Amino acid sequence: MTPEAPRTTVWSVLRPPPLRPGDRVRVVAPSGPFDHTLVWRGMGFLSERYRVEVDRGCFVRHGFLAGTDERRRDELNAALADPDLSAIVAARGGYGFGRIAASIDLAALARHPKWLVGFSDITALHVEAARIGVASMHAHNAAGLGRGDAHARAAWIAALEAPETPRSFDDLELWYGGSAEGPLFGGNLTMLFTCAAAGRLSPPPGALWMLEDVTESAYRLDRMLTALIDGGAFDRAAGVIVGELTDCGPGIHGVPALDVLRERLGTLGVPVLAGLPMGHGRHNAPMPLGLGARIEGRRLTVSLA
C-alpha cells in the first residue's frame, strides 16, 4: 500500500538573523507586571552571552499592567524600530498586550526583522508577526529563564542561535494519524481566541497549529476552541500539535481538559499529536513560529528550511 502523501503548502516568511554572542538583546514588558527577581536573574543569564538592555520604566506597575498603555506601546515600538537590535525578549506574559496590539509598528518590524521571544500573553505579539510574515520564537520569557532550569536555558540559546537547525520530538501521543507539513503557528489558546475576536488572527495557509493553556476549565477550553473552529480559523490548517494544559482541571463537570481537545480537534480531519513539551511547564521547548514543521506518525520535526 502506498503511504499517504503529507499535506503540504507553499509559504514564505521573513527570517530574522540568528543570534550571535555579543548581539544586542532588549527586554521589554508589553503585558503584565512581573517578579523583578526572576527577570533580573533571566537578564543576568542572557548577559553572559549578549548585550542586554532594559528600560527601567518597565518595572513600574500600573494595576494589572506593566505600566500604562502608552508606556508599553512606546517601549515596544522603540525596540521594533531599532535597526541594530537582534532580539526582543518579553519580561513576562500575564495580560495586557491586546490593549496595544492595534498600535504596534509592524512596518518597523518588517524593515528591521528581529526575533520576538516569549509566550502566553505574548502569543498575541506572535500573531502580529505572522500577519506580516515575520518568523518569531515561542519560548521562555525572561522571567522563565530566571528560574534557572539548565536544560531550558540551553534549549533557548540553541534555538535562537541556530533557529533553522531541525529538531525532532519523537513518540508524541498520536490522536489522529497522517502526515502534514507547513509553517508553525499558534501558542496560547486563550490568546488565539482573543485575537480572533479582535479580528487580528490571520494564520498562514496550511499551518501546523500549536495549542497550550494554563488554569482554564475544560468547558472554557471547549468554548474557545469551538468558537475558533466554527469561525473558520482552522479551515486551512494542515495539522495540530497539543502542548501542555497546565493546571487545566476538569472543573465541576469532571471532564478532563485533554479529552475535550481530543474530541473537538477530531472534527478537523487533519493529523493531531499531543504531549509536546511546550507551554507553561518547566521546559517550554522553543518553537520557531513561521518556519516549517512536519508531522510524520508520532514525530514532529521543526525548523525546516
Instruction: Tell me the β-bridge partners of 167.
Output: 302
Closest CA to 110 of 138, 137, 131, 88: 131
Q: Which set of grid coordinates corresponds to residue 31?
A: 503585558
Q: Could you tell me the CA-to-CA distances from 230 to 42, 225, 233, 235, 261 in Å, in that order?
A: 40, 9, 8, 9, 14
Closest CA to 47 of 68, 84, 21, 17: 21
Does 212 participate in catalysis according to the annotation?
yes
Q: Cell numbers 498575541 label which residue?
A: 124
**Catalytic choice (31, 120, 136, 303):** 120
DSSP 114-144: -EEEE-GGGHHHHHHHHHTTB-EEE---HHH
Beta-carbon contacts of 99 under 8 Å, excluding residues fewer than 6 positions away, are: 65, 69
Type of residue at 139:
A
Does 136 participate in catalysis according to the annotation?
no
Residues 35/143, Cβ–Cβ less than 8 Å: yes
**Catalytic choice (181, 212, 216, 244):** 212
Q: Cell numbers 532580539 label which residue?
A: 87
Helical H segments across 231-304, by residue range:
257-265
Does 164 participate in catalysis according to the annotation?
no
**What is the distance between the terminal CA atoms of the chain, rounded to a whole angstrom?**
30
Catalytic residues: 120, 212, 280
